[in-house]
Structure 1
Amino acid sequence: MKPFSAPYSVLTDRLRGRGESSKWIEYLITTTCAIGNMLFGYDQGVMGGFLTSAPFEKTFPSISSTGSSTLQGFTVAVYEIGCAVGALSVIFAGDRFGRRTTVIYGQMILIVGSILQFTSYSLAQLIVGRIVTGIGNGMAVAVLPTWNGECSRPTARGRAVMWQLNVNIFGIAVAYWVDYGVNQSSLTVNTDWSWRFPLSLQVVFSILTIIMAFFLPDSPRALVKQGRMGEARDVIDMLSLESDAETREDAINFSMSIIETSLLEEAESNSSWGDIFTQGRPRFFQRLCLATMSLAMMQLSGINLITYYAPTIFQNTLGMTREMSLLLSGINGIEYWLSTFIPIPLIDRLGRRPMFLFAAVGQCISMAVLAATIAYPNDKAAGYCAAVFLFVFNTVSGIGFQGNSFLLPVELTPLQTRGKSVSIATGIFWLCNFFVVMISPVLISKIQWGTYVLWTGTNLCFIPMIYFLIPETQNATLEDVSALFEQSETWLIGPGSKKRLAQIVANREAIEATGADGEKVFTGHVEKLTMES
């Protein structure tokens, strides 16, 4: 039943077959995914702003500044447990429902969780609400980058996912400024609305995401995997930038043959669900590990220590007033968001690996400086320096880690296991998030500056991991990336991967351009395909 079984076509019918103007379908999918991801960022930033507010502490004294830091960390971090459950549920439901419908269901669950949160009068209800919200958000976040990436052109896929994650960081900035606004307003500052209103805004973003998803198509690759070939052809047709009908038909046939052959070859290996943990010719397990690693590295860099607890760090660690800590957190959120504009024009020019390495080095240096300066809490100059390097850390993370971490799982995993692999990777991502958010207030209270030494060490380890293990995926189709893994029977795939991938892309484009005698290219091999009359 529409709009769950299929989207309303009133919007896409007006845009298809119009050449370059058809890009707007792709742009609208990216926008929908971005708004959905905005909730991820918003919830990361919103809790830290009212943890130390008087009305919130009065309602929940057991997690106040004088209460248990462990219980406070659990209350904030339990959201990540819900997100992990939601992400892992996509393993079983994602391919069945498809990308678009999974997002819709996730947002509906998120609305229920948000209502539970902002109507809470007990800590138990708040915790349950955060778990339910997490389940819905985990479902959506596990699928949104895949939906966006699979509907994007190879030369624009990096930028599309970067835009999506840019709005995610914008959500963090919005949360900080909403918290600052309700703290400054005489109408809300000393009332429960100082924390209920920020939590209630999540419902607005979810409703907007659902409405937009009602009018947009699912991923053609997901539809092919479900056996819905006619619908997949229709989506490829509406995403095509060819205005000439005959040329567009040829392009559709080629795209369908690539996707179908990809799925067929992987299926012919007689793979089962458990084979995701084996290698085989497609190197399933290696690609699962890389998808998981790229997401886990973002969490274990220490970014969410700053994202979730920025106001607390400014107020309790650096000794600033509550008003100043909220203001600086808002400025920090805006600066963090602005930094994510930098990789958008660069990701498909420079590639993924250079930006990933840049961020790992920058984050390592920033955390080392933070450790050194926070070790002197009574030194005013050291406090200013620490505040500056909180900004520096966010900047380099926004440039090289944020978008890359979500883009690579989509690009590195094969179609046959992509839904399951990305779900597992995202589930582990949320568990790492839970670990970081749970232990951060405890670490800050117990070992103080030693907390930042820990994150210096993790970022230092990331540098060789990125260099040796993660390949380049720049300007290649998802099937080209599969060819790279099949031709590179080593875990140390990173060095030289850009050159090898460029040759695979060149081979495919050469044969695609000729199209003679029904020859098609797939995974670096030229194969004779039977063309139906």
Structure 2
Amino acid sequence: MAIGNIYAIAAIAVIGGGLFGFDISSMSAIISTNSYKCYFNQGIAQINDNGEMECGGPTTNTQGGITAAMAGGSWLGALCSGYLSDMFGRKYSIMVGSVIWCIGCILVCASQNIAMLIVGRIINGISVGICSAQVPVYISEIAPPTKRGRLVGLQQWAITWGIMIMFYISYGCSFIKGTASFRIPWGLQMIPAILLFLGMMILPESPRWLARKDRWEECHAVLTLVHGNGNPDSSFVQREFEEIKSMCEFERQNADVSFMELIKPDMINRTHVGVFTQIWSQLTGMNILMYYITYLFAMAGLKGNNLLVSSSIQYVINVFMTIPALLWLDRWGRRPTLIVGAILMMTWMYTIAGLMATHGHAAPPGGLNGTPAESWEITGPPSKAVIACTYLFVASYAITWGPTSWVYPPELFPLRVRGKANALCTSFNWAFNFALGWFVPPAFENIKWQVYIVFGVFCTAMCIHVFFMFPETTGKTLEEVEAMFTDPSGIPYVGTPAWKSKNDFSRGAVIEQVGYEDEKKTGGTVQHSETA
């Protein structure tokens, strides 16, 4: 028997986000450990005063490639996920992703050399690409408008939980001698994928995907389960079923579904907005802090356990600062959240750069601790200010761009292209994640503190871009969002400028409340209708 509670459905589906989180912190916690550095060593190896071997680890280019391998696989997985999702359904594409993740984890855990590690991370990435693209689509096609931000935003919260849990597992395993210190965490990454696969078995398929496949009885049954509390004669279920049916018929008569449709005149604007939402989320520099935070904190004078424990604080901040966005993102609106987030993040990036330039100095040749990426050194109170700004940056991202970057793109597109469109948008996320993951270690080595100037400029640019080009979608049904880009006859047009678009949360909440009052009066199950 399938689960019908919308919060339970979202809670299980977003475990797919946890896979990405597990991968981020397993790498960030492990790359600074001596067992990892010595096993995959390409640099300096020497005996310290305690008689222990100390190694430089992989070169900066190689470490960038190891880290970026997952994002490269995710780019491929995200692109393929559109076809997979449209062919087999949102539910089964996510289940396929969980199986692929387990295969990748086996290879990573058993890695005998750098090449095997990279191949395993690429396979892991394919899984993350599939899940990260299709979980938001799956949830957005089920959730009501005034809860859509909260439910899809749970994906980001799952990512933050995955990051924090895996970091502490990796930290605990760092006290183990030998290769088990990194093989155990990499092996444990399979657990959430197994839970995701089993959990998805008891979830319903997207009713809108079922409608696209002319599986109308199943579509009606899912609507009854999720929105009708088991009552197939509910007025809401009947109304939504007819609206989905009408929309599917209209789309079949007016459009062929392919990636090429995303660059047609009636799609190109929303495609550009969705793609840049994902691009800018990477160019904030957040995931770089997640991957390479130990480099920054080592440059700020932290060592050993202090380095790892201090690094872990940002993961705790990430988890808890995402909660306000989950509760109030639908009330705040997408535009203000993105703009305020960009302003805050640019402030912290410029401040870190200024502190390092003013109070820091170049590290000895070869970098601190024999790690070339740790190429700058800052001590005393200014180093504490750098660490504080890092925490503030993480908090600013977690409450703004973190959840919103996953919520916003699926809202922009109609049913017929939603799977492929979100796959395309997410693929750009992973393409830039790949590029930045590879770029940052050599960048730290070569341009040092100026790396933070680069990301500060990106945050400035995204603030301006969002203000002028990103329309507000909060509180609108997916059909109403469609009407923002086309007139009733289907002809594309430029409607209200983005900076004049309004947050309709209050209107949507009133409509839903009326529906609940009708339910009490009639004994039915009337809710706010959301069309495809």
Give the conservation status (yes or no) of the 8 Å contact 1:86–1:139. Answer: yes
The alpha-carbon distance between structure 1 residues 286 and 320, as it changes in their structure 2 partners (threshold 3 A), is same
Q: CA deviation at 1:320?
A: 1.1
Equivalent AA in structure 1 for residue 148 of structure 2: R
Cα deviations by residue, 1:434-454 (Å, 9 ceiling, x for unpaired): 111110111111111100000
Partners of 1:82 and 1:244 in 2: CA distance: 44
SS of residue matched to 1:345: helix
Alignment of 1:231-380 (within 5 A): 231-241=218-228, 246=233, 248=234, 250-280=235-265, 283-315=266-298, 317-375=299-357, 376-377=359-360, 378-380=378-380
Residue identity (%): 25
Q: CA deviation at 1:67?
A: 4.1
The alpha-carbon distance between structure 1 residues 272 and 237, as it changes in their structure 2 partners (threshold 3 A), is closer
Give the conservation status (yes or no) of the 8 Å contact 1:258–1:479. Answer: no
Partners of 1:61 and 1:29 in 2: CA distance: 44
Structure 1 partner of 2:135: 144
Partners of 1:473 and 1:107 in 2: CA distance: 31
Structure 2 partner of 1:134: 125
Moved over 4 A (4+): 241-245, 499-514, 521-524
Q: CA deviation at 1:387?
A: 0.1
Equivalent AA in structure 1 for residue 354 of structure 2: A
Give the conservation status (yes or no) of the 8 Å contact 1:298–1:401. Answer: yes
Cα deviations by residue, 1:252-304 (Å, 9 ceiling, x for unpaired): 22112222222333332243525423344xx2222221111111111011111
Structure 2 partner of 1:5: none
Partners of 1:251 and 1:274 in 2: CA distance: 33
Q: CA deviation at 1:241?
A: 4.7
Give the conservation status (yes or no) of the 8 Å contact 1:62–1:68. Answer: yes
Give the conservation status (yes or no) of the 8 Å contact 2:240–2:529. Answer: no
Partners of 1:116 and 1:292 in 2: CA distance: 32
Partners of 1:234 and 1:499 in 2: CA distance: 33
Partners of 2:162 and 2:255 in 1: CA distance: 43
Q: CA deviation at 1:32?
A: 1.2
Cα deviations by residue, 1:229-248 (Å, 9 ceiling, x for unpaired): 111111111011557654x1
Q: Greater shift after overlay, 472-481 or 61-70?
A: 61-70
Partners of 2:257 and 2:143 in 1: CA distance: 29
SS of residue matched to 1:319: coil
2:20 to 26, 40, 43: 40
Instruction: Find out whether 1:204 has 2:191 as its counterpart.
Output: yes
Cα deviations by residue, 1:481-528 (Å, 9 ceiling, x for unpaired): 1122224822874222216898899999999999xxxxxx9999xxxx
Equivalent AA in structure 1 for residue 326 of structure 2: I
Partners of 2:529 and 2:254 in 1: CA distance: 16
Cα deviations by residue, 1:92-150 (Å, 9 ceiling, x for unpaired): 22100111000000110110000000111111111110111111121111101111221
SS of residue matched to 2:254: coil
Partners of 1:492 and 1:393 in 2: CA distance: 33
Give the conservation status (yes or no) of the 8 Å contact 1:83–1:427. Answer: yes
Partners of 1:202 and 1:192 in 2: CA distance: 16
Partners of 1:107 and 1:511 in 2: CA distance: 38
Q: CA deviation at 1:428?
A: 1.1
The alpha-carbon distance between structure 1 residues 216 and 500, as it changes in their structure 2 partners (threshold 3 A), is closer
Partners of 1:522 and 1:171 in 2: CA distance: 34
Structure 2 partner of 1:224: 211
Partners of 1:441 and 1:491 in 2: CA distance: 44
Structure 2 partner of 1:79: 70
Partners of 1:513 and 1:493 in 2: CA distance: 35
Partners of 1:318 and 1:199 in 2: CA distance: 28
Partners of 2:113 and 2:232 in 1: CA distance: 61
Cα deviations by residue, 1:348-374 (Å, 9 ceiling, x for unpaired): 212111111111111110101111112
Give the conservation status (yes or no) of the 8 Å contact 2:105–2:189. Answer: yes
1:166 to 144, 157, 160: 157
Partners of 1:409 and 1:68 in 2: CA distance: 37
Structure 2 partner of 1:16: none
Structure 1 partner of 2:369: none
SS of residue matched to 2:494: coil
Give the conservation status (yes or no) of the 8 Å contact 2:140–2:148. Answer: yes
Partners of 1:370 and 1:231 in 2: CA distance: 55
Partners of 2:117 and 2:479 in 1: CA distance: 44
Partners of 2:438 and 2:482 in 1: CA distance: 37
Partners of 1:110 and 1:491 in 2: CA distance: 43
Equivalent AA in structure 2 for residue 358 of structure 1: V
Cα deviations by residue, 1:200-245 (Å, 9 ceiling, x for unpaired): 1111000000000011101111111122111111111101155765
Structure 1 partner of 2:475: 475
The alpha-carbon distance between structure 1 residues 296 and 492, as it changes in their structure 2 partners (threshold 3 A), is farther
Partners of 2:300 and 2:147 in 1: CA distance: 42
Partners of 2:105 and 2:29 in 1: CA distance: 17
Structure 2 partner of 1:6: none
Partners of 2:330 and 2:186 in 1: CA distance: 36
1:52 to 4, 18, 32: 32
Partners of 2:14 and 2:145 in 1: CA distance: 19
Q: Structure 2-normalised TM-score?
A: 0.86
Give the conservation status (yes or no) of the 8 Å contact 2:35–2:181. Answer: yes
Equivalent AA in structure 2 for residue 100 of structure 1: K
Give the conservation status (yes or no) of the 8 Å contact 1:366–1:393. Answer: yes
1:495 to 474, 496, 499: 499
The alpha-carbon distance between structure 1 residues 329 and 509, as it changes in their structure 2 partners (threshold 3 A), is closer
Partners of 2:397 and 2:448 in 1: CA distance: 22
C-alpha root-mean-square deviation of aligned residues, in Å? 2.6
Equivalent AA in structure 2 for residue 138 of structure 1: G
SS of residue matched to 1:204: helix
Q: Greater shift after overlay, 268-277 or 335-344?
A: 268-277
Alignment of 1:8-47 (within 5 A): 9=1, 11-12=2-3, 25-47=5-27
Partners of 1:491 and 1:504 in 2: CA distance: 21
Cα deviations by residue, 1:445-494 (Å, 9 ceiling, x for unpaired): 11111000000000000112111211111122211211222248228742
Give the conservation status (yes or no) of the 8 Å contact 2:36–2:182. Answer: yes
The alpha-carbon distance between structure 1 residues 226 and 513, as it changes in their structure 2 partners (threshold 3 A), is farther
Q: CA deviation at 1:52?
A: 2.3
Q: Runs of 5+ in structure 2 lacking a partner?
A: 44-54, 361-377, 519-527
Structure 1 partner of 2:442: 442
Partners of 2:124 and 2:347 in 1: CA distance: 35
Partners of 1:67 and 1:40 in 2: CA distance: 23
Partners of 2:496 and 2:457 in 1: CA distance: 22
Give the conservation status (yes or no) of the 8 Å contact 1:332–1:391. Answer: yes
Partners of 1:385 and 1:340 in 2: CA distance: 23
The alpha-carbon distance between structure 1 residues 221 and 387, as it changes in their structure 2 partners (threshold 3 A), is same
Instruction: Find out whether 1:427 has 2:427 as its counterpart.
Output: yes
Equivalent AA in structure 1 for residue 276 of structure 2: M
The alpha-carbon distance between structure 1 residues 345 and 305, as it changes in their structure 2 partners (threshold 3 A), is same
Partners of 2:194 and 2:510 in 1: CA distance: 43
The alpha-carbon distance between structure 1 residues 120 and 145, as it changes in their structure 2 partners (threshold 3 A), is same
